[in-house]
């Protein structure tokens, strides 16, 4: 008999997708989620931890499930960036928390803003930062105070549920939704419907990783749909019907990718079920083996949008979506800063704190001014800015003057307007360098050195290789790391990425191009001066680089 021949068939390694039968956890995070739903930690916080104190907290809750309610331990003060990553969590953890309040759509009325301000003053040592996803972020929160904070927030319709964790996080919306003179559609009803139906639902509280959504009909594309997991962008189809194009699979951090259009047309009343379909595809087919490959973008990249759309339609919607048009190109500035007309004869007034840093007292001032000059309605933006709505034309300049008295600029320099910074080493356990104060000092200094520079050059400052301040899509992206200074000493500094542009190209890491933190302002000044001197008419920074 001839010897039997054997062929080894190499089976592709499973990525932990539930829909393919991989229900056993493949890593610690998946195991924690399987052991207990993150949403269940709320009761333990109220009943046990807030009464028995920090030391009573189960580590699996402290470093895992607390995120389902927007709570992270903050970094213990005094640990330098060189030790980040080398220390166990217990040594990096402070006994205080960062708390993120989700402001879906960035929409706040007067009582809500006052509550947010009061909480900052009473419970957070005055801290309050506006994040680049329209959230408000506090620091110095004690576990004992969390139930009272939730009670205060919930009394005005706000909450922290799924503000972090492997969940559908805050949904970005245009700050001008419903009042912009040129908007394609007011996406607020769709955003609210998705929020009310699905946020806090156990159906979507165990996703492979975080899931970021955006809903907008804004012509400026201020919701940065290109870098969300799913984004609904207002369009008008060939029959003149208003609805949405849908983008999927955007995200920065490891392997940045821009979201891709599904090429569909979604009527407003369908939006909630299409959102549910997309997040269900992610829950069921998303990769759960490796955390750094668990975002939706990796699935979209592997499948392609045609297959993604097919699975969405066949397995989740049960019907085919019609083809739809692509949205128009975005405006050069997406931040809604300045004084501009609304669609009802009133005006909105957008202003710029420095790198999103405000505080309880200042938010109280904004609430006062919004009530005195407008209707009390205020918006946060995805560029760490704020907008007061409903101001009569004759009061806009008086409001701008009052804001300026509190260093909130309605006509900011390009540096203040275009610079964002993440939390950094002040509070973030992953940080290697200081960011907020460094960026604020840089803005102040550049305003003095280059008072006439007006080109919209974006400068984004990150405290580590993650992407919380979106460095990959900035003209000048600064990634915090340790660098060697001229004396051969390791000091705080930044790797420089140049020429990023949202939706078009990611900034290029220029080999060997780094600056110390101390040399940051000089470096930015040099590159900005060179661009200004050499650029052709209309040439953007990304094109010039
Ligand atoms: Fe922290 Fe890094 Fe995010 Fe900055 S980019 S907030 S340092 S994780």
pLDDT digits (tens, 9 = 90+) for 508-536: 988 789 999 999 999 999 999 999 999 99
127-173 pLDDT, tens per residue? 999 999 999 999 999 999 999 999 999 999 999 999 999 999 999 99
Q: What are the pLDDT digits (tens) for 242-265?
A: 999 999 999 998 899 999 999 999
User: Given pLDDT bands bounded at 50, 70 and 90, which one contains residue 181?
Assistant: confident
Backbone angles phi, psi at 386, to 5 degrees: -135, 160
Cβ–Cβ under 8 Å, residues 179 and 188: no
At 8 the pLDDT is 55
Q: Evaluate whether 108 touches 352 at the Cβ level (below 8 Å).
A: no
Distance between Cα 423 and ligand 1 center (Å): 6
b/e sequence 190-225, b meaning 16+ C-beta within 10 Å: bbbbbbeebbbeeebbbbbbbbbbbbbbbbbbbbbb
Alpha helix (H) residue ranges in 304-395: 305-311, 360-373
Mutate to test the pocket of ligand 1, among 81, 164, 420, 428 (most ligand atoms within 8 A of CB): 428
Q: Is the minimum distance from the CB of 468 to ligand 1 under 6 angstroms?
A: yes
From the CB of 74, is ligand 1 less than 6 Å away? no
- At residue 2 the predicted structure's pLDDT band, cuts being 50, 70 and 90, is very low
Q: Is pLDDT of 477 > 70?
A: yes
pLDDT on residue 9: 54
Q: What is the pTM of this model?
A: 0.95
Tens of pLDDT, residues 206-219: 999 999 999 999 88
Extract the runs of DSSP E, i.e. beta strands, from 414-458: 419-421
pLDDT in the model for residue 10: 56
Any ligand 1 atom below 6 A from CB of 431: yes
Confidence class for position 340, pLDDT limits 50, 70, 90: very high
464 CB near ligand 1 (under 6 Å): yes
- 268: which 2 tokens? 């407003």
Q: Inform me whether the pLDDT recorded for 463 exceeds 70.
A: yes
Mean pLDDT of the chain: 95
Q: In this predicted structure, what is the pLDDT of residue 7?
A: 52
Is the Cβ atom of 471 under 6 angstroms away from ligand 1? Answer: no
E strands within 286-373?
Answer: 338-341, 347-351, 357-359
55-113 pLDDT, tens digit per residue, is: 999 999 999 999 999 999 999 998 989 889 889 888 999 999 999 999 999 999 999 99
Query: How many residues would you count in the chain?
Result: 545
Which structure tokens are listed for 15? 């990525």
Q: What is the pLDDT of residues 21-60, one digit of tens each?
A: 998 999 999 999 999 999 999 999 999 999 999 999 999 9
Among 59, 25, 65, which residue's Cα sits nearest to residue 163?
Answer: 65
Ligand 1: atom nearest CA of 433 is 7
Q: Measure 468 CA to ligand 1 centroid, in angstroms.
A: 6
Residues 176-196 have a mean pLDDT of: 96
Collapse the DSSP code of 334 into the 3-class scheme (helix H, G, I; strand E, B; otherwise coil) and give the result: coil
Nearest CA, atom 2, ligand 1: 464
C-alpha 59 to ligand 1 mean position (Å): 22
């Amino acid at each position: 008999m001839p010897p039997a021949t054997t062929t080894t068939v190499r089976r592709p390694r499973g990525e932990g997708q539930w829909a393919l039968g991989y229900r056993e956890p493949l890593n610690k995070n998946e195991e924690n989620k399987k052991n207990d739903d993150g949403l269940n930690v709320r009761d333990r916080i109220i009943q046990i931890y807030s009464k028995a104190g920090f030391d009573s907290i189960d580590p699996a809750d402290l470093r895992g499930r607390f995120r389902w309610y927007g709570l992270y331990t903050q970094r213990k003060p005094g640990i330098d960036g060189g030790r980040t990553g080398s220390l166990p969590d217990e040594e990096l953890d402070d006994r205080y928390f960062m708390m993120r309040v989700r402001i879906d759509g960035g929409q706040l009325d007067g009582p809500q803003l006052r509550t947010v301000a009061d909480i900052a003053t009473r419970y957070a040592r005055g801290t309050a930062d506006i994040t680049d996803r329209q959230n408000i972020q506090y620091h110095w929160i004690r576990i004992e105070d969390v139930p009272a904070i939730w009670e205060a927030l919930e009394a005005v319709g706000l909450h922290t549920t799924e503000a972090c964790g492997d969940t559908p996080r805050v949904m970005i919306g245009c700050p001008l939704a419903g009042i912009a003179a040129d908007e394609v559609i007011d996406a607020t009803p769709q955003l609210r419907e998705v929020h009310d139906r699905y946020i806090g639902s156990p159906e979507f509280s165990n996703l492979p990783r975080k899931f970021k959504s955006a809903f907008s009909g804004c012509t400026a594309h201020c919701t940065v749909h290109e870098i969300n997991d799913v984004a609904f962008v207002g369009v008008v189809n060939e029959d003149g019907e208003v609805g949405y194009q849908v983008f999927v699979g955007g995200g920065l951090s490891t392997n940045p990718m821009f979201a891709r259009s599904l090429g569909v047309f979604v009527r407003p009343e369908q939006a909630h079920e299409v959102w549910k379909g997309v997040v269900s595809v992610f829950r069921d087919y998303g990769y759960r083996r490796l955390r750094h490959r668990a975002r939706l973008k990796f699935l979209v990249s592997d499948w392609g949008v045609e297959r993604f759309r097919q699975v969405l339609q066949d397995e989740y919607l049960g019907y085919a979506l019609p083809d739809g048009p692509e949205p128009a190109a975005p405006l050069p500035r997406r931040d809604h800063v300045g004084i501009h007309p609304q669609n009802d004869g009133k005006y909105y007034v957008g202003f710029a704190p420095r790198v999103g840093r405000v505080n309880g007292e200042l938010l109280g001032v904004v609430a006062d001014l919004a009530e005195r000059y407008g209707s009390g309605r205020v918006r946060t933006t995805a560029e760490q800015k704020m907008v007061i709505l409903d101001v009569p034309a004759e009061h806009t300049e008086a409001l701008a003057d009052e804001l300026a008295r509190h260093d909130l600029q309605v006509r900011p320099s390009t540096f203040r307007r275009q610079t964002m910074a993440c939390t950094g080493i002040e509070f973030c356990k992953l940080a290697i360098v200081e960011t907020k104060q460094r960026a604020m000092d840089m803005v102040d200094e550049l305003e003095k050195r280059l008072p006439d520079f007006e080109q919209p050059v974006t400068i984004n400052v990150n405290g580590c290789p993650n992407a919380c301040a979106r460095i990959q899509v900035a003209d000048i992206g600064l990634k915090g790391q340790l660098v060697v200074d001229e004396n051969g000493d390791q000091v705080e500094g930044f790797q420089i990425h140049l020429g990023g542009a949202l939706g078009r190209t990611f900034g290029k890491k220029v080999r060997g191009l780094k600056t110390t933190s101390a040399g940051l302002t000089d470096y930015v000044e040099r590159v900005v001066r060179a661009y200004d001197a050499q650029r052709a008419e209309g040439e953007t920074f990304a094109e010039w680089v």
